[in-house]
Structure 1
Amino acid sequence: MKKFNINISGGGSTFTPGIILMLLDYQKEFPIDTIKFYDNDGERQKTIADACEILLKERAPEIKLIATTDPKEAFTDVDFVMAHIRVGKYAMREQDEKIPLKHGVVGQETCGPGGIAYGMRSIPGVLELVDYMEKYSPDAWMLNYSNPAAIVAEATRKLRPDANILNICDMPIGIEEIIAKTQGLESRKDFEVDYYGLNHFGWWTDIRDKNGNSILDKVTQHVSRYGYTMGGDDLPGEEASWNSTFKKAKDVQHLDPETVPNTYLKYYLYPDYEVAHANKEYTRANEVMDGREKFVFGECQSIVEKGTAEDTKLETDDHASYIVDLAKAIAFNTKERMLMIVENNGAIVNFDPTAMVEVPCLVGSKGPEKLVVGEIPRFQKSLMEQQVGVEKLVVEAFEEKSYQKLWQALTLSKTVPSAKVAKDILDDLIEANKAYWPVLK
């Protein structure tokens, strides 16, 4: 069986060790020759890479690991690029969240003004990775889950239309794992779903067990009472912000009780509640920096100091399993059914054909084959049209370096109450992002 060469772009990410652990779990099904870490912050990457090198030596010494900041070395002779970069790191995420909150608007990583700011930083970073891949390994596939996935997907559709890039998100996967637990099932792979929407902006319309029987009614009843929790209690091991998000899903679900919603819809449908309950001084970014960031880097440093990973507490992540499943589907033409972010082009028949929608696809060696969703209801369609307008305006603003279009994007966002507030936020974001955004005209 062929052994694959993998590039992990964002080698210094806290998610990288989880991907390595998942790749190790899949070694028999998806054998690997070489893994290359690529990051523009070599110092940050070194801590993760040194720990992963020890991990690989102990569990799969035949796999070679290369950590580099040189694009040519990183992208030459690879089969897959697994991209999860964060341009500006958590320091800029903190600004994305706190600047809108200062103006009484939702401060969130991928939704509203914060997501727009992050998108303006992510677009050039992801396009650069695409260009490196096409230059040094033109037959490779990029599996991109860099956020904000919706804006990044629109940018790659418009600006790199012929690239071998698949845009994915782990958010539905995490929710499906919770749904499985609430229904007494082993994992999300024990059922099949129908789903449509945009990234971080969608609805499940059916969930069927392995015998084809719908369990949607049971799931909707549970979510309407408890959200995505086991019985109203906090989920063990989850941070406070996530437990709040999982519980709020019940209020989102009440707007359309026959479907099951993506959790992030709360930011668009209940923005006043989110702002009222936000801590303007200590946001999700601070929670991550004090939690996941310290834990992962502390564990990696401990591995390096001890010279062994035998007792490490590092674990695989939901999105790690999904990305390896996706690589297998491409490599072995498995036609696995997966949720992907793809150009609509008829999947949702009463919706913009150029919109990047999140729908079930059958994935094989030629990429995703969309499954037809059909027509969608007016409520969801109208919400989605507004949000697609935001995403397209952001990409146009980036391409044209247009202040006007970025102001329009912020004004159009359902999280922003007026054009004046949008302008005030934009001016603050421009100041904060001087090192990352193009100069707007």
Structure 2
Amino acid sequence: MKKFSVVIAGGGSTFTPGIVLMLLDNLDKFPIRQIKFYDNDKKRQEIIAKACEIILKEQAPEIEFLATVDPKEAFTDVDFVMAHIRVGKYAMRELDEKIPLRYNVLGQETCGPGGIAYGMRSIGGILEIIDYMEKYSPDAWMLNYSNPAAIVAEATRKLRPDSKILNICDMPVGIEERMAQIVGLESRKEMNVTYYGLNHFGWWSSITDKAGNDLMPQIKEHVAKYGYVAATDEGQHVDQSWNDTFHKAKDVYAVDPTTLPNTYLKYYLFPDYVVEHSNKEYTRANEVMDGREKFVFGEAEKIIKQQSTKGSKLHIDEHASYIVDLARAIAYNTHERMLLIVENKGAIENFEPTAMVEIPCIVGSNGPEPLSIGKIPRFQKGLMEQQVAVEKLVVEAWAEGSYQKLWQAITLSKTVPSAKVAKDILDDLIEANKDYWPELN
């Protein structure tokens, strides 16, 4: 049986240990001969890598391990590139969130001006990784879950149209796990879903169990009362800000009770509420730096110090198991049905053919085959057209170095009240991102 070689791009990420543990937990389904880490921050990666090396020694000593900052070493002889990079790290995320808030515009990692700023940083980083992969392992596939996935996906469509990259997001997976809990199922895999939209911007239009029974009425009844807050709330997203987001889904749902919404729609439909409930001095980035960041690096340092994982609180990132499903679908031609971000090409009949939409696909060794969604309602179509125009303008601004197009993109975001506010925010963001963005004229 073939064993696979995987490189994790973003080896210094706080999510990397959870992904390694998840890969080790699935070796029976997806055998691995080699795991490599690649990052351009050597010092940060070193801590995560040393801890992961000890985890591998204990659990799967036969797997070769290498952590490197050399692209040739990292990308040679790999079957899959799993990419979750954050250009500018949390220091820049903090600015993405705090700069818009100065103008009473929401500050969020992937939505609104903050998401646009992050997108402008991410595009170059992702293209660089694609180019390394194509140079050193031309048959490899890249599974990209770097944010902001919508802008990154549009950039790869436009600027690397022939590359073997699959853009994915774990947010629908997380919400579907909650839905499964709500209806008393063991796992989201016991449901069949139809979902459509853009990344962080979509709706479920049908959910059934494997026998074909409609689960929507029961889930809707729960969401109308409690949002996506399930009876047993544990797992990855339990910070106060996440609980608020899951709770607020009931108000988002009320806007269109014929569907079930992605939680991120709160940022577009209730931006005033979000600003009102934001602490301008202490945003989500600060929460993460003081929470997960300290926790993961603290645990890694403990493992290194004692040269053993005994007593370690690092846990499997269950959310990430869909990455194994995706890799398996490619490797073994499983034809699994999964949500991916793909070029529309008529899957949503009454929507822009070149838009990167998030819809169910059947995945096999040649990549994804999008399923037909048919026509979508006017409300969703209107929102999506506005948002897809934002994403396309951002990518054009990056590719052309166009100040004008980036100003237009921020102006068009549903989170921003006027062109003047958009320009003020843009000028501040340019100053903050001068080491990361292309020069704009």
TM-score by length of 1: 0.99
2:233 and 2:208 mapped to 1: Cα distance? Answer: 27
Unaligned runs of 5+ residues in structure 1 are: none
For residue 31 of structure 2, what is the aligned residue in structure 1?
A: 31
Deviation, structure 1 residue 29: 1.5
Give yes or no for the alignment of 1:242 onto 2:242: yes
Answer yes or no: is the 8 Å Cα contact 1:235–1:243 preserved in 2.
no
For residue 76 of structure 1, what is the aligned residue in structure 2?
A: 76
Answer yes or no: is the 8 Å Cα contact 2:38–2:70 preserved in 1.
yes
Query: Would you say how many aligned residue pairs link Structure 1 and Structure 2?
Result: 440
1:430 and 1:91 mapped to 2: Cα distance? Answer: 15
What amino acid maps onto 2:301 in structure 1? Q
Deviation, structure 1 residue 185: 1.2
For residue 396 of structure 2, what is the aligned residue in structure 1?
A: 396
What amino acid maps onto 2:388 in structure 1? V
What amino acid maps onto 1:143 in structure 2? L
Deviation, structure 1 residue 310: 3.0
2:255 and 2:243 mapped to 1: Cα distance? Answer: 20
For residue 46 of structure 2, what is the aligned residue in structure 1?
A: 46
Matches within 5 A, 1:6-405: 6-230=6-230, 238-405=238-405
Answer yes or no: is the 8 Å Cα contact 1:344–1:356 preserved in 2.
yes
What amino acid maps onto 1:26 in structure 2? N
What amino acid maps onto 1:440 in structure 2? L
2:164 and 2:158 mapped to 1: Cα distance? Answer: 13
Deviation, structure 1 residue 311: 2.4
Deviation, structure 1 residue 181: 1.1
Answer yes or no: is the 8 Å Cα contact 1:150–1:356 preserved in 2.
yes
1:221 and 1:269 mapped to 2: Cα distance? Answer: 21
Query: Please, what is the CA RMSD of the aligned residues?
Result: 1.0
2:195 and 2:50 mapped to 1: Cα distance? Answer: 40
1:318 and 1:132 mapped to 2: Cα distance? Answer: 29
Q: Secondary structure at the match of 1:254?
A: helix
Q: Deviations over 1:10-35 (max 9, x none)?
A: 00001101111111111111111111
Q: Secondary structure at the match of 1:311?
A: coil
Answer yes or no: is the 8 Å Cα contact 1:149–1:169 preserved in 2.
yes
Deviation, structure 1 residue 183: 1.4
1:312 and 1:65 mapped to 2: Cα distance? Answer: 20
Q: Secondary structure at the match of 2:93?
A: helix
| Range moving further from structure 2, 235-244 or 401-410 | 235-244
2:140 and 2:39 mapped to 1: Cα distance? Answer: 18
Note closer, same or farther for the CA distance 1:234–1:139 as it changes in structure 2 (3 Å cut).
Answer: closer
After superposing on structure 2, the runs of 4+ consecutive aligned residues of structure 1 that deviate more than 2 Å are 233-237
TM-score by length of 2: 0.99
Q: Deviations over 1:220-262 (max 9, x none)?
A: 111111001125x976770010000000000000011121100
Q: Deviations over 1:74-117 (max 9, x none)?
A: 00010000000000000000000000000000100000000000
1:244 and 1:390 mapped to 2: Cα distance? Answer: 26
1:235 and 1:428 mapped to 2: Cα distance? Answer: 38
Unaligned runs of 5+ residues in structure 2 are: none
Note closer, same or farther for the CA distance 1:412–1:296 as it changes in structure 2 (3 Å cut).
Answer: same
Answer yes or no: is the 8 Å Cα contact 1:268–1:415 preserved in 2.
yes
1:406 and 1:167 mapped to 2: Cα distance? Answer: 23
| Range moving further from structure 2, 20-29 or 65-74 | 20-29
Answer yes or no: is the 8 Å Cα contact 1:173–1:318 preserved in 2.
no
Q: Secondary structure at the match of 2:311?
A: coil
2:33 and 2:310 mapped to 1: Cα distance? Answer: 22
2:108 and 2:318 mapped to 1: Cα distance? Answer: 21
1:103 and 1:395 mapped to 2: Cα distance? Answer: 24
Answer yes or no: is the 8 Å Cα contact 2:23–2:324 preserved in 1.
yes
Deviation, structure 1 residue 318: 3.7
1:48 and 1:273 mapped to 2: Cα distance? Answer: 38
| Range moving further from structure 2, 175-184 or 388-397 | 175-184
Answer yes or no: is the 8 Å Cα contact 2:191–2:209 preserved in 1.
yes
